[in-house]
Amino acid sequence: MPVGLSEPEVLLPIAGVRWGVAVAGIKYADRNDLALMEIAQGAATAAVYTRNAFCAAPVTLARQHGSATATRYLLVNSGNANAGTGAPGMKAALESCAAAADVAGCNIEEVLPFSTGVIGELLPAGKIRNALPRAYADLSADNWLKAARAVMTTDILAKGVSRQIEIAGKTVTITGITKGSGMIRPDMATMLAFVATDAEVEPVLLQRLLQQAVDGSFNSITVDGDTSTNDACVLVASAQAGIAFASETDAGYAELAVAVTEVLQWLAQAVVRDGEGATKFVTIDVQGGGDEAECRQVAYTVAHSPLVKTALFASDPNWGRILAAVGRAGIDSLDVDKIAIYLGQVRIVLDGGVDVLYTEAAGQAVMDEEEITIRIDLGRGSAQAQIWTTDLSYDYVKINAEYRS
Positions annotated as catalytic residues are: 190
Burial 100-116 (b: 16+ CB within 10 A, else e): bbebbebebbbbbbbbb
- Contact 386/285 with Cβ under 8 angstroms? yes
200-201/244-245 β-pairing: parallel
The closest alpha carbon to 218, from 200, 196, 233, 203, belongs to 233
- Contact 21/135 with Cβ under 8 angstroms? yes
- Contact 329/298 with Cβ under 8 angstroms? yes
Task: For Cα atoms 8, 158, 110, give the angle at the middle one, nearest 5 degrees.
Answer: 110
The closest alpha carbon to 44, from 203, 174, 176, 195, belongs to 203
DSSP 165-211: EEETTEEEEEEEEEE-SSS---SSS-SEEEEEESSEE-HHHHHHHHH
